Structure 1
């Protein structure tokens, strides 16, 4: 599977802990991430990741393009709902594309746990 990993600044540590917890599953897949998130996952978890630009610099749009071209199977996007994001239109567009193309997007750890279990059981 092709999986994207994204996290807002205040959620990066949560996503990294989640990926560490499930590293034996993530290692089996082709991973993509926005800039800083991808760098941190590579450095702290040791997984190979194709990195796009930082989210505010176009990385969210690059991942959205992959969704629109049916080049991603799932997205883990740990969002910070309590902090205004300067690139909120890009975030909304990415989530809208997931809905349009029926790509599951886990926006918090609860949904991420459900999604990773579906991936493990090969239910996607």
Structure 2
């Protein structure tokens, strides 16, 4: 079966970066055919550990990387968001994280927030095959011209 390339974002809070990097290393071959994006520091660490992966680096999360990902979601340019979060640490950019969670939900983007959910995503037959996400009707929320 030919793998249908997905657009995948890799993000991790400071306390979960090592866990995400380890997860990526274990799943490096499965991630190889996909288009990968990562926020700044996380992406640099992954690239050092897994140099065979081509990763487009965005800005660091607090410096705008989260907003870059949010724009990709809103524009339909992201299929999967793997965001290993640290639920025990309050962060100054928590509102950005909440916005990513909200946008992922709104646009029905696959969202994994820890290793277990990421394992389920990558082991799904949909990960390699074609998957057409459904889009909820948001026309009632779209602002109409005055």
2:68 and 2:128 map into 1 onto residues whose CA distance is 28
2:103 and 2:61 map into 1 onto residues whose CA distance is 16
TM-score by length of 2: 0.82
- The equivalent residue for 2:40 is 35
- The equivalent residue for 1:18 is 23
Provide, for residues 28-71 of structure 1, a one-character-per-residue CA deviation record: whole Å limited to 9, x for no partner: 10000000000111111111100110001110110011000000
1:56 and 1:75 map into 2 onto residues whose CA distance is 17
How many residues were matched structurally?
Answer: 124
CA contact (8 A) 1:25 1:120 kept: no
1:27 and 1:55 map into 2 onto residues whose CA distance is 24
Provide, for residues 64-110 of structure 1, a one-character-per-residue CA deviation record: whole Å limited to 9, x for no partner: 11000000110100000000011000000011000000001100111
Q: Does 1:60 align with 2:66?
A: yes
Uncovered stretches (5+) of structure 1, i.e. residues with no partner: none
Candidates 88, 110, 121, aligned match of 2:116: 110
Candidates 129, 136, 139, aligned match of 1:122: 129
2:66 and 2:128 map into 1 onto residues whose CA distance is 28
2:62 and 2:78 map into 1 onto residues whose CA distance is 20
Which has the larger helix fraction? 1
Give the secondary-structure state (helix, strand or coil) at the position aligned to 1:76.
strand
2:128 and 2:39 map into 1 onto residues whose CA distance is 26
- C-alpha deviation, 1:122, in angstroms: 2.3
